[in-house]
């Protein structure tokens, strides 16, 4: 059994989750669920990033301690993820003891390796990104207030990580390993705007801040929030605690993150790991950003979308489906309330929901709900079902490339083909005939539909886990989908002969459009 360790970025706790955060988590969840169905042993990790100036200042502004703010917002992320059917196996908080211990051990490993030195930091710092920026970047931020970012000049005694010494290592990784950074355009961006100009040493401790993890043996220093945060990917799997568990899971198979933080994950992080004698992650996927109504989301614009509001109206699956169907995960995308509304009704209620409903209603009416297994099917039916097999054969590759929108489009073509098959074969007319006995033909038609639907259900399950679970239990009562792998699902004739297929409750009830 292969292992599959997948992570998302950990979220800052200066506010509750917005649609951009959950977009990433939903994408990662879909891939995690898909790998579970492949039979892999999956570890899906997400969490919250709780230290740093941004959180400390937000807490001060609200008159609460950073810890209280972190507790409150971390809980909001966990609740939102539950509501959105996110199947993470662990949730790491950078204030967890296991994490603090791991960061301090890691620091010592890098220091022992000789890659940390004392110096004075003088330069610009961007609070929103928690990032040391160059003169040029600072100027750009100052000239573009619409970015919603601010920079401050900082000067303090600090400790530096010798990132420049890892230039060759990082180059070999990014340029030598073609699929280390995905999609391709992110890799090109990284090479031209960051790698070519040369990696610069980075300040990794702060003395003007106290909301952070204390640097070992350096009173007054706390660990820079990015150095702290990246370590979450290993602190959660036992680094510095349980060596055996750690060795089993590391390296991560994929870090799923937004395009804005690719450089931290593909240069700083591999260099840190190398300095500590550890392997880099296998792959980093930098997804695009979601805008709202075509505009960057932000408090100043007042267009921050709360994912829970959409889930309350349409259910969590409409959001999961709508976001991943409407946008190419690797590129930039947009959230559009109308598109979610339309997709929910056209694709979920009228497409999949209606197919399930009409198939099982007719089966009940014409054949008492009884499935008759068909070892052989006519050519047309065999050809129709072969289309499912053909898509299934390409599924792993498309999913691993995060081509969710394309996968969904292709699955919905097959749903349309099944709906058309019903229209063409007209079981309601056949059922009226007395002679010859229409039942053998009806058995074929409904066995074809059942098999097609079964495939559809397995392929959509990572996107629509609740609905898929309900449909699956029609075919295999008492044998939930989580207990199956694709290989078992692929075995032909898996619906036992004479199973009574009972109609599930309405999967996607109609929803009124909110009044503007």
The phi and psi torsions of 90 (rounded to 5 degrees) equal -150, 160
Cα of 190 vs its chain's centroid, Å: 22
Told to check if 47 binds ligand MSP by CB under 6 A, we report no
- Residues within window 495-514 making contact with ligand MSP, judged by CB under 6 A: none
Told to check if 90 binds ligand MSP by CB under 6 A, we report no
Told to check if 202 binds ligand MSP by CB under 6 A, we report no
Residue in 5, 158, 151, 164 with CA at minimum distance from that of residue 89: 5
Helix, coil or strand: residue 376: coil
Q: How many whole angstroms separate alpha carbon 435 and alpha carbon 90?
A: 61
Told to check if 402 binds ligand MSP by CB under 6 A, we report no
Structure tokens at 411: 């699955």
DSSP 65: -
Could you tell me the smallest distance in angstroms from the CB atom of residue 251 to ligand MSP? 15
Ranked by CB distance to ligand MSP, the top (closest) residue is: 258
443: left (phi over 0), alpha (psi -120 to 50) or beta: alpha
Among 26, 267, 290, 415, binds ligand MSP (CB under 6 A): 290
Which single residue is written with the structure tokens 């790998």?
A: 35
Q: Which is nearer to ligand MSP, 261 or 384 (CB)?
A: 261
Q: Which is nearer to ligand MSP, 258 or 427 (CB)?
A: 258
- Span from 9-17, 211-219, 237-245, 320-328 in contact with ligand MSP (CB under 6 A): 9-17
Among 29, 49, 50, 111, binds ligand MSP (CB under 6 A): 49
Q: How many whole angstroms separate alpha carbon 323 and alpha carbon 21?
A: 12
Structure tokens at 204: 């990794």
Could you tell me the smallest distance in angstroms from the CB atom of residue 286 to ligand MSP? 8
Q: Which is nearer to ligand MSP, 232 or 359 (CB)?
A: 232
Integer distance in angstroms from the first to the last C-alpha of the chain? 51
Cβ atoms within 10 Å, residue 83:
16
Told to check if 92 binds ligand MSP by CB under 6 A, we report no
Residue in 177, 176, 138 with CA at minimum distance from that of residue 154: 138
Q: Which is nearer to ligand MSP, 264 or 321 (CB)?
A: 264
For residues 95, 98, 100, 105, the Cα torsion angle rounded to the nearest 10 degrees is: -170
Q: Which is nearer to ligand MSP, 93 or 343 (CB)?
A: 93
Residue in 468, 81, 127 with CA at minimum distance from that of residue 307: 81
Told to check if 91 binds ligand MSP by CB under 6 A, we report no
- Span from 10-18, 37-45, 157-165, 437-445 in contact with ligand MSP (CB under 6 A): 10-18
Q: How many whole angstroms separate alpha carbon 91 and alpha carbon 32?
A: 15
Could you tell me the smallest distance in angstroms from the CB atom of residue 24 to ligand MSP? 5
- Span from 18-26, 150-158, 183-191, 303-311 in contact with ligand MSP (CB under 6 A): 18-26
Contact (Cβ atoms closer than 8 angstroms) between residue 174 and residue 195: yes
Residue in 315, 334, 448, 311 with CA at minimum distance from that of residue 384: 448
Q: Which is nearer to ligand MSP, 20 or 307 (CB)?
A: 20
Cβ atoms within 10 Å, residue 207:
16
Q: Which is nearer to ligand MSP, 230 or 352 (CB)?
A: 230
Told to check if 257 binds ligand MSP by CB under 6 A, we report yes
Told to check if 289 binds ligand MSP by CB under 6 A, we report yes
Instruction: State the alpha helices, DSSP H only, in 299-438.
Output: 307-314, 316-326, 337-343, 354-367, 379-400, 404-425, 427-432
Told to check if 315 binds ligand MSP by CB under 6 A, we report no
Q: How many whole angstroms separate alpha carbon 83 and alpha carbon 308?
A: 8
Q: How many whole angstroms separate alpha carbon 26 and alpha carbon 31?
A: 9
Told to check if 369 binds ligand MSP by CB under 6 A, we report no
Among 4, 5, 6, 10, binds ligand MSP (CB under 6 A): 10
- Span from 4-12, 152-160, 309-317, 434-442 in contact with ligand MSP (CB under 6 A): 4-12
Told to check if 24 binds ligand MSP by CB under 6 A, we report yes
Told to check if 412 binds ligand MSP by CB under 6 A, we report no
Told to check if 11 binds ligand MSP by CB under 6 A, we report yes
Told to check if 260 binds ligand MSP by CB under 6 A, we report yes
Q: State the Rg of the chain over Cα.
A: 26
Q: How many whole angstroms separate alpha carbon 416 and alpha carbon 155?
A: 63
Told to check if 45 binds ligand MSP by CB under 6 A, we report no
Q: Which is nearer to ligand MSP, 278 or 431 (CB)?
A: 278
- Residues within window 211-250 making contact with ligand MSP, judged by CB under 6 A: 229-230, 232
| Number of residues near ligand MSP (by CB under 6 A) | 19
Q: Which is nearer to ligand MSP, 247 or 295 (CB)?
A: 295
Residue in 354, 346, 313, 322 with CA at minimum distance from that of residue 513: 313
- Span from 21-29, 144-152, 318-326, 461-469 in contact with ligand MSP (CB under 6 A): 21-29
Structure tokens at 505: 């409750």
Q: How far lies 249's CA from each of 4, 216, 236, 264, 279, in Å?
A: 8, 27, 10, 21, 12
- Residues within window 132-161 making contact with ligand MSP, judged by CB under 6 A: none
Could you tell me the smallest distance in angstroms from the CB atom of residue 404 to ligand MSP? 14
Which single residue is written with the structure tokens 């309330």?
A: 337
- Span from 215-223, 253-261, 472-480, 495-503 in contact with ligand MSP (CB under 6 A): 253-261
According to DSSP, the residues that pair with 4 across neighbouring strands are 42
Could you tell me the smallest distance in angstroms from the CB atom of residue 11 to ligand MSP? 4
- Span from 5-13, 131-139, 172-180, 351-359 in contact with ligand MSP (CB under 6 A): 5-13
Task: List contacts with ligand MSP (CB under 6 A).
Answer: 9-12, 20-21, 23-24, 49, 229-230, 232, 257-258, 260-261, 289-290, 297
């Amino acid at each position: 059994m292969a292992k599959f360790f997948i992570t998302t970025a950990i979220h800052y706790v200066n506010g509750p989750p917005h649609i951009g955060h959950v977009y990433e988590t939903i994408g990662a969840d879909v891939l995690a669920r898909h790998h579970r169905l492949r039979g892999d042993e999956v570890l899906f990790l997400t969490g919250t990033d709780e230290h740093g100036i941004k959180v400390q200042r937000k807490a001060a502004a609200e008159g609460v301690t950073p810890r209280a703010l972190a507790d409150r917002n971390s809980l909001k992320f966990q609740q939102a993820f539950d509501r959105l059917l996110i199947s993470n196996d662990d949730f790491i908080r950078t204030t967890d003891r296991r994490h603090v211990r791991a960061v301090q051990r890691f620091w010592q490993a890098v220091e022992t390796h000789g890659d940390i030195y004392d110096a004075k930091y003088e330069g610009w710092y961007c609070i929103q990104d928690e990032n040391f920026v160059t003169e040029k970047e600072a100027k750009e931020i100052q000239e573009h207030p619409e970015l919603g970012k601010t920079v401050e000049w900082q000067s303090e005694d600090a400790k530096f990580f010798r990132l420049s010494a890892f230039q060759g290592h990082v180059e070999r990784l990014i340029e030598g390993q073609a699929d280390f950074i995905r999609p391709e355009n992110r890799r090109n961006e990284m090479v031209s705007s960051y790698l070519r100009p040369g990696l610069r040493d980075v300040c990794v401790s702060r003395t003007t801040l106290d909301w952070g993890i204390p640097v070992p043996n350096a009173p007054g220093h706390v660990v820079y929030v990015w150095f702290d945060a990246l370590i979450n990917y290993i602190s959660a799997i036992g680094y510095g605690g349980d060596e055996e568990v750690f060795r089993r899971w590391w390296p991560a198979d994929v870090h799923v993150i937004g395009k804005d933080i690719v450089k931290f994950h593909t240069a700083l992080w591999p260099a840190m790991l190398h300095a500590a004698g550890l392997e880099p992650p296998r792959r980093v996927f930098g997804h695009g950003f979601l805008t709202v109504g075509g505009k960057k989301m932000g408090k100043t614009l007042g267009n921050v979308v709360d994912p829970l509001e959409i889930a309350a109206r349409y259910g969590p699956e409409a959001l999961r489906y709508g976001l991943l169907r409407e946008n190419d995960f690797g590129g930039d995308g947009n959230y559009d309330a109308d598109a979610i509304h339309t997709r929910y009704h056209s694709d979920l209620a009228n497409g999949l929901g209606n197919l399930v409903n009409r198939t099982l209603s007719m089966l009940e009416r014409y054949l008492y709900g009884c499935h008759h297994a068909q070892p052989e099917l006519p050519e047309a039916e065999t050809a129709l079902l072969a289309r499912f097999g053909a898509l299934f054969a390409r599924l792993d590759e498309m999913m691993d490339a995060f081509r969710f929108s394309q996968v969904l489009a292709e699955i919905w073509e097959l749903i349309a083909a099944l709906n058309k098959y019903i229209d063409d074969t007209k079981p309601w007319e056949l059922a009226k005939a007395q002679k010859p006995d229409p039942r053998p033909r009806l058995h074929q038609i409904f066995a074809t539909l059942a098999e097609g639907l079964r495939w559809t259900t397995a392929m959509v399950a990572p996107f629509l886990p609740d609905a898929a679970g309900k449909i699956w239990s029609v075919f295999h009562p008492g044998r939930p989908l989580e207990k199956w792998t694709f290989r078992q699902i692929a075995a032909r004739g898996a619906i036992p002969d004479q199973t009574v297929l009972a109609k599930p409750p309405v999967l996607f009830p109609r929803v009124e459009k909110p009044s503007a």
